[in-house]
Amino acid sequence: MSPARTEWSDAEEEIMRATYRALLSHGYADLSMSHIADELDKSKAAPYYYYDSKDELLVAFLDYAIYRFEDGLDTDVGDDPKERLDHAVEKLLPLRPDEKTRDLQAVLVELRAQAVTNDAFREQFSRLDAEIVETIREIVQRGVDDGTFRDVDATRIAEHVLATIIGGRYGQATTDREDAIGAPRVSLTSYLDAELRPRP
């Protein structure tokens, strides 16, 4: 796996933001390079200068999305492991996602499906999932170490959180079930409480 990218030029960041807007407007299937160019204020040729194809641009977009996502997952919150965990879970599976968040999740569902057959997409989603597990694992382990949480296998908990989050998002994006949004989040909170609360 190639290392995650952490440097983006201003021009590339601008293309990434344009890609984000174009994805929200058109979805993955209908997205074209010219939709992305339309979202750019300046040169319409800019995306083609940096990327040969829609899929190459989208792999870079996933890199950028993961980088930005890591940035926000575990910040703006104190040192308390319980607060940090609640914050991360709310970021990953919001209880009441707004329309923009739901649109973004729907786009990610479409992008992830490409990972079945496209190795570059697969590498990005492998990295994204590994990052989520590592973030949750580290928070849980801190809580175990300082006595906030019970002495659990932090990796097992983190893998379970990842599976629930992915499953919850897919339920939201691909069904009309009325419980699809709230139910996985409520059950995840209940799971974490049951697994982590220290025994009296």
Residues that bind its own copies (CB under 8 A): 27, 29, 106, 109-110, 112-113, 115-117, 121-123, 125-126, 129-130, 155-157, 159-160, 162-168, 170-171, 173-177, 179-180, 183-184, 186-188, 190-191, 194-195
Q: Judged by CB, which is closer to its own copies: 14, or 55?
A: 55
Burial (0-12, 13-18, 19+ Cβ within 10 Å), 116? exposed
Amino acid letter for position 188: L
Least spacing, CB of residue 184 vs its own copies, in Å: 4
The least distance separating its own copies from the CB of residue 78, rounded to whole angstroms, comes to 28
Q: CB burial class (10 A; 0-12, 13-18, 19+) of residue 11? A: middle
Per-residue CA distances from 123 to 60, 80, 93 (Å): 12, 33, 22
Least distance CB 76 / its own copies (angstroms): 26
| One-letter amino acid of 191 | Y
Q: Which is nearer to its own copies, 15 or 192 (CB)?
A: 192
CA distances to 9, 99, 141 from 12, rounded to whole Å, are 5, 26, 36
**Residue 166 identity (one-letter amino acid):** I
When the beta carbons of 40 and 137 are compared against its own copies, the nearer one is 137
**How far is it, in rounded angstroms, from Cα 80 to Cα 76?**
12
Cβ nearer to its own copies, comparing 17 with 127? 127
- Minimum distance, C-beta of residue 183 to its own copies, in the bound complex (Å): 4
Which is closer to its own copies, CB of 47 or CB of 168? 168
Smallest gap, in angstroms, from Cβ of residue 112 to its own copies?
5
- Please provide residue 41's backbone torsions phi and psi, each rounded to the nearest 5 degrees: -70, -40
